[in-house]
Amino acid sequence: MTRIYLDYNATSPLHPAVQEAMVQAMDLFGNPSSVHRDGVAARRIVTVARESLANRLNIKAGQILFTSGGSEANTTVLAAFAGKPVLCSAVEHASVMNNPHVTATIPVTQAGLVDLNALKTMMDHHKPALISVMAANNETGVIQPMDDIANLAYNAGVSLHCDMVQAFGKIALDDVLPYCDFATFAFHKIGGPKGVGAVVSRCADCIEPLIFGGNQEHRRRAGTENTVALAGLTALCDALSDQNHLRPLHDTMEATFKDNGGIVVGDNTPRLPNTTCVIMPRVSADTQVIHCDLAGISVSAGAACSSGKITPSPVLRAMGFSETEAACAMRISSGHATTAQDFERISQSWLSLLQKYNDLQKVA
């Protein structure tokens, strides 16, 4: 039986065009900082990747700082505000939530949206220099009201950082990106390569390097550039298409879950087209993940940033779910290679486990 991969929000299969571009780039072995012909060819890969991403985001190429991924990108932004008050939402990625530069966390509603009234109060109290809120959550897919948050930040003269790792390529960013002082990206969640991310900033001088050495990235990040991954990024920018066709498939699957006692997290709230977080009451997340794995389906219990540990999701706890409920949540995230048949199989697998559990309860 063919395995099904439904864990795109952790990482995704390479888009075929991306893989082809990366294989070809492996033959260009020069160092982009070298002035000979091999180095110039490698430098061209870096330049084209920067221009391709800038065109995709409708920004200037000089605003882009390449990093090794989203976690480094987030850390780079927050480190620029060391010693100053920083607020982040209670549902951020671990690279923000666990960052030592964060002063306090902003509560969210039961829908997973930033509590704007609480944010106003906290801004008055903490006088933050930076507010950090992700555009769309990696576990639930819930999309934040970034326009409202941006207005609050702008009116108070506070810098705004938006983690767009999960949003990139899945929802339109034109209405959000212009209002952000900093935005961060990684590209392996949507068919791109691992090992490359980016910081987009309005003010290049605001970014201090985390890595010191050479003059790469305009002296903002030392180290030889990952030309193979950057070649893949260029191909990704050319190959990306919207994922709106996935939402109806998720909706049909979610209707099956809800009809059989499942709790869809963020239901009736704007969410990414490719993401479903569902709670099967009384059945642990690890049991669900293992059951699906044995059925040839890869899913997850939430964020893939805890070294394989399955623990109750802090995101769901912040949304008001009990520890027991949060420990029973499974995330299903789809992408470019997902088919309608894949949704049918995961639905049947979920129902199969539920039936087994119900049968055991009857025997007990």
3-class DSSP state for residue 160? Answer: strand
Which residue bears the tokens 């339109």? 172
CA atoms within 13 A on the CB side of 334: 26
Indicate the DSSP class of residue 271: B
The catalytic residue among 277, 292, 305, 328 is: 305
Strand ranges of the sheet holding 86-89, from the earlier edge strand across to the other edge? 64-67, 197-201, 182-186, 159-163, 130-132, 86-89, 104-106
- Closest by CA to 20, choosing from 283, 167, 236, is 236
Beta carbons within 8 Å of 322's beta carbon, 6+ residues apart: none
Q: What are phi and psi of 105, to 5 degrees?
A: -110, 140
- Closest by CA to 335, choosing from 102, 12, 10, is 12
How far apart are alpha carbons 46 and 217 in whole angstroms? 10
How far apart are alpha carbons 203 and 11 in whole angstroms? 30
> Can 305 be counted among the known catalytic residues?
yes
Q: What are phi and psi of 198, to 5 degrees?
A: -160, 150
How far apart are alpha carbons 63 and 76 in whole angstroms? 14
Question: Residue 344: left if φ>0, alpha if ψ -120 to 50, beta else—which one?
Answer: alpha
Q: What are phi and psi of 4, to 5 degrees?
A: -115, 135
Q: Amino acid letter at 89?
A: S
* The pairing of beta strand 86-89 with beta strand 104-106: parallel
The set of catalytic residues is 305
